[in-house]
Amino acid sequence: MRKKIVAGNWKMNLNLQEGVALATELNAALTADKPNCDVVICTPFIHLASVANVLDANLIGLGAENCADKVSGAYTGEVSAAMVKSTGAQYVILGHSERRAYYGETAEILKEKVNLALANGLKVIFCIGEVLEEREAEKQNEVVKAQLEGSLFDLTAEQFSNIILAYEPVWAIGTGKTATAEQAEEMHAFIRSTIADKFGAEAAENVSILYGGSCKPSNAKEIFAKPNVDGGLIGGAALKCADFKGIIDAWKA
Catalytic residues: 96, 168
Question: How far apart, in whole angstroms, are the C-alpha atoms of residue 206 and residue 33?
Answer: 27
Q: Which of 61, 223, 236, 245 binds ligand PGA (CB under 6 A)?
A: 236
156: burial class by Cβ within 10 Å (0-12, 13-18, 19+)?
exposed
Q: Does 203 bind ligand PGA (CB under 6 A)?
A: no
Between 109 and 166, name the residue whose CB sits nearer to ligand PGA.
Answer: 166
The residue range among 45-53, 105-113, 182-190, 211-219 that interacts with ligand PGA, by the rule CB under 6 A, is 211-219
Q: Does 121 bind ligand PGA (CB under 6 A)?
A: no
Q: Which of 92, 110, 165, 234 binds ligand PGA (CB under 6 A)?
A: 234
Q: Does 183 bind ligand PGA (CB under 6 A)?
A: no
Q: Does 248 bind ligand PGA (CB under 6 A)?
A: no
Binding mask 133-172 for ligand PGA (x = CB under 6 A): -----------------------------------x----
Kindly state the smallest distance separating residue 20's Cβ from ligand PGA, in Å: 21
Q: Does 174 bind ligand PGA (CB under 6 A)?
A: yes
9 is in an annotated binding site: yes
Q: Does 124 bind ligand PGA (CB under 6 A)?
A: no
Q: Does 8 bind ligand PGA (CB under 6 A)?
A: no
Q: Which of 209, 235, 243, 245 binds ligand PGA (CB under 6 A)?
A: 235
Instruction: Collect all residues with Cβ–Cβ distance below 8 Å to 62 and sequence separation of at least 6.
Output: 40, 41, 42, 43, 48, 51, 52, 55, 87, 88, 89, 90, 91
Between 129 and 199, name the residue whose CB sits nearer to ligand PGA.
Answer: 129
Q: Does 191 bind ligand PGA (CB under 6 A)?
A: no
- Give whole-number Cα distances, 174 to 13, 120, 179, 218, 236, in Å: 13, 31, 12, 15, 7
Judged by the rule CB under 6 A, the positions of this chain that interact with ligand PGA are 9, 168, 173-174, 212-215, 233-237
| Residue stretches of the annotated binding site | 9-11, 174, 214, 235-236
